[in-house]
């Protein structure tokens, strides 16, 4: 365990903000880092591995883990009829192994991890709503206008209401992933996280 208890990092942001890419790049470059694997009730897709992509639980198993306190926070996505939750045994193992653990959670998860594990929280922002709208439209041509509008509403809420509650906000402009990663790493090093 890091002497300051600095082992948990939350990287959050709207869907399509680049938070996955940021975490992915940090994991590639730094050996002492791991991604926190989330528990879910959704079915495993082709090419996915249990315990690597997600912990794939039946609804019954998810409810058991919830009741036992192993999933301290979760969310339900009605459109997918699916639950997602923070899986504590995976987090505790990462911490015990001395790793810096990157969690990709929403504001509820971020608050919980900050409270319990002194997590540093970083919100990845698009450069502008207009740029983000174009990025989302390009990335998801299969979305209906209704779904697209719903996603944009969620994004605008996250940016307006949630982003000020994070320790840091980092802009990830189109084509600038490398600079975004460098900025996040600089923050973590300054805050005393052990990445190597």
Q: Which helix (H) or strand (E) holds 33?
A: strand 33-35
Question: pLDDT tens digits for 4-26?
Answer: 579 999 999 988 889 999 999 99
Cβ 182 vs Cβ 191: under 8 Å:
no
Q: What is the mean pLDDT of the chain?
A: 92
37-85 belongs to which homologous superfamily?
Guanylate Kinase phosphate binding domain (3.30.63.10)
Q: What is the pLDDT of residue 2?
A: 44
Question: pLDDT tens digits for 30-69?
Answer: 999 999 999 999 999 999 999 999 999 999 999 999 999 9
Q: 32: which residues sit within 8 A by CB, 6+ positions away? A: 98, 99, 100, 194, 195, 196
Q: What is the pTM of this model?
A: 0.89
Provide the b/e sequence for 45-79 (b: ≥16 CB within 10 Å).
eeeeeeeeebbbbeeeebeebbeeebbbbbeeeee
- Return the CATH class of domain 1-36+99-196: alpha beta
Domain borders along the chain are 1-36+99-196, 37-85
**Is 37-85 the same fold as 1-36+99-196?**
no
Question: pLDDT tens digits for 118-135?
Answer: 999 999 998 888 888 888
Distance CA 151, CA 133 (A): 10
Q: What is the chain's length?
A: 196
């Amino acid at each position: 365990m890091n002497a300051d208890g600095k082992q948990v990092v939350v990287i959050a942001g709207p869907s399509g903000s680049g938070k996955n890419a940021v975490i992915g790049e940090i994991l590639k470059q730094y050996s002492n880092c791991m991604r926190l694997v989330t528990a879910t009730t959704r079915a495993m897709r082709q090419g996915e591995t249990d315990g690597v992509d997600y912990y794939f639980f039946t609804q019954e198993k998810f409810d058991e883990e919830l009741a036992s306190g192993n999933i301290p926070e979760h969310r339900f996505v009605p459109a997918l009829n699916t639950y997602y939750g923070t899986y504590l045994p995976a987090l505790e193992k990462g911490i015990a192994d001395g790793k810096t653990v990157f969690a990709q959670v929403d504001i509820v998860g971020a608050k919980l991890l900050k409270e319990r594990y002194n997590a540093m929280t970083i919100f990845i922002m698009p450069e502008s709503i207009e740029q983000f709208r174009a990025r989302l439209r390009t990335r998801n041509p299969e979305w209906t206008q209704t779904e697209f509008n719903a996603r944009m509403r969620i994004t605008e809420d996250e940016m307006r209401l949630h982003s000020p509650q994070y320790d840091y906000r980092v802009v990830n402009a189109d084509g600038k992933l490398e600079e975004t990663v460098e900025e996040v790493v600089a923050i973590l090093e300054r805050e005393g996280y052990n990445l190597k």
